[in-house]
């Protein structure tokens, strides 16, 4: 499952928009719901600050 590097996250919300399962929320930093995540990697590819790995 992808992990958010909180110190790198700029809370832009790009990952939220591309997640097909609506598994990501973003307030101060992105948070991935492990129960909903299907490990597709869309968020990793979309993150402009490489905060999701």
Distance CA 46, CA 44 (A): 6
Quote the number of domains for the chain.
1
Range of the domain at 13: 1-53
pTM above 0.85, yes or no: yes
The residue-averaged pLDDT of 26-46 equals 97
pLDDT of 51 reads 98
Residue 42: CATH number of its domain: 3.30.70.20
* End-to-end Cα distance, the chain: 9
The residue-averaged pLDDT of 13-33 equals 97
Model confidence at 33, in pLDDT bands (50, 70, 90)?
A: very high
Distance CA 44, CA 9 (A): 12
Distance CA 6, CA 10 (A): 8
Distance CA 53, CA 45 (A): 9
């Amino acid at each position: 499952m992808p992990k958010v590097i909180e110190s790198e996250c700029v809370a832009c919300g790009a990952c939220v928009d591309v997640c097909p399962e609506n598994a990501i929320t973003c307030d101060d930093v992105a948070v991935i719901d492990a129960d909903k995540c299907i490990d597709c990697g869309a968020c990793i590819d979309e993150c402009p600050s490489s905060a999701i790995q």
